[in-house]
Amino acid sequence: MSIFLDFDGTITVNDTIGELAAAALRIQSERGIDLDRQWDAVVKAYLDDYNRHAKGYHAQESARCRPEHEVAFLRAGKAVELRSLDRINACAVFKGISADELRRAGREAVASGRVRLRPGFRAFLDRRLRESFRVFVISVNWSTAFIEGALDHPGVRVIANHVREDGTVVGPELLNGGADAPLRNLTNSCDKLDVMRAVMEEDPRGPGLCSYYFGDSITDLECLLHATSGIVVSDTGDSKLLETLRRIGEDVPRSSEVSAETSASAATPNKCAWAADYDEVTEHILFRFKHDKA
């Protein structure tokens, strides 16, 4: 049995990319390197590029009413993310920063309260691990080490991009298995889905096991649809992801409004529900190991 979780906004209350960047900028500043202006330019260029992509895409949001329509839109945005990574690498905001420093930055961000984990997450995680679930974090975040530091839990395998000492952001090994294949970063929904599938294929317990996916943003859409059961983590019932899922025809009730048997027993493939935090998940969602074949 495998449980997959996005990190930013799913495990954490808010997105942590800004905190990761701020930590890198602080480290560089302590070394006498001021990259604030260059970083601001990187952020602005990304937002401008993404908005151009969204506005210029041939099928506007209202016309994307089926899962395949939205998946095509998300996959077309891969180029936007890759251009942004090129700018990040050129800016050299992570140059010379070690994995240990980034791991420490993640721990400090949680300890200081700048990064907050969602209520009930620690208890949820410990319970699932005691029950012998495999737990994975799949994230488009730039630093595996930063996430590891924030989680500070050896039982979770984090699969994300990582930062080399030269400052470049590179993808996880699961996406870069072939020696002759071009390097691939983990940046969007199709990359997450490929990682999820690769992990499932590695499961030593064989076929027939359920998979659960937790996410909060549109980069999680493909994994939510692929998993046996998807759980959208959202403060309210009108998040961008929930609105998108409903627009493409997916019913996503709140977990408290459906029985545990139907929301996560895997009796109904691809059944999604949403919850505000992991206390709610624990109260209303039942986790099982095998598909109900009846």
**Per-residue confidence (pLDDT) for residue 291, from 0 to 100:** 45
- Closest by Cα among 222, 287, 213 to 248: 222
- Residue 277 token pair: 């935090």
Yes or no: say if 164 and 99 are a contact pair by the CB < 8 Å rule: no
- Tell me the percentage of the chain whose pLDDT exceeds 90: 83
What one-character-per-residue DSSP string does 63-106 give?
G--SHHHHHHHHHHTHHHHHHHHHHHHHHTTTTT--HHHHHHHH
Structural domains in the chain, sorted by start: 2-284 (3.40.50.1000)
**Per-residue confidence (pLDDT) for residue 204, from 0 to 100:** 72
Strand duo 271-275 + 229-233: pairing:
parallel
Residue 205 clears pLDDT 60, i.e. is over it: yes
What is the CA 86 to chain-centroid distance, rounded?
A: 21
DSSP 22: H
**Per-residue confidence (pLDDT) for residue 17, from 0 to 100:** 96
User: What global pTM score does this model have?
Assistant: 0.92
Band (pLDDT 50/70/90 cuts) for residue 206 is: low
Residue 177 clears pLDDT 80, i.e. is over it: no
Q: CB-hemisphere CA count at 13 Å for 146? A: 29
**Per-residue confidence (pLDDT) for residue 210, from 0 to 100:** 77
**Per-residue confidence (pLDDT) for residue 287, from 0 to 100:** 82
Torsion sign across C-alpha atoms 134, 140, 143, 147: negative
Mean pLDDT of the region 192-215: 84
Residue 187 clears pLDDT 60, i.e. is over it: yes
Q: Where are the beta strands (DSSP E) in the chain?
A: 2-5, 134-138, 157-159, 162-163, 169-170, 211-215, 229-233, 271-275
Each residue's pLDDT tens digit, 224-253? 999 999 999 999 999 999 999 999 999 999
**Per-residue confidence (pLDDT) for residue 268, from 0 to 100:** 46
Beta bridge partners of 275: 233
Mean pLDDT of the region 120-139: 96
44: burial class by Cβ within 10 Å (0-12, 13-18, 19+)?
exposed
Lowest mean per-residue pLDDT among 10-24, 223-237, 260-274: 260-274
Residue 116 clears pLDDT 80, i.e. is over it: yes
**Per-residue confidence (pLDDT) for residue 203, from 0 to 100:** 76
Each residue's pLDDT tens digit, 25-70? 999 999 999 999 999 999 999 999 999 999 999 999 999 999 999 9
Averaged pLDDT of the chain: 91
Residue 272 clears pLDDT 70, i.e. is over it: yes
CA distance 88 to 154: 29
- Closest by Cα among 196, 214, 228 to 278: 214
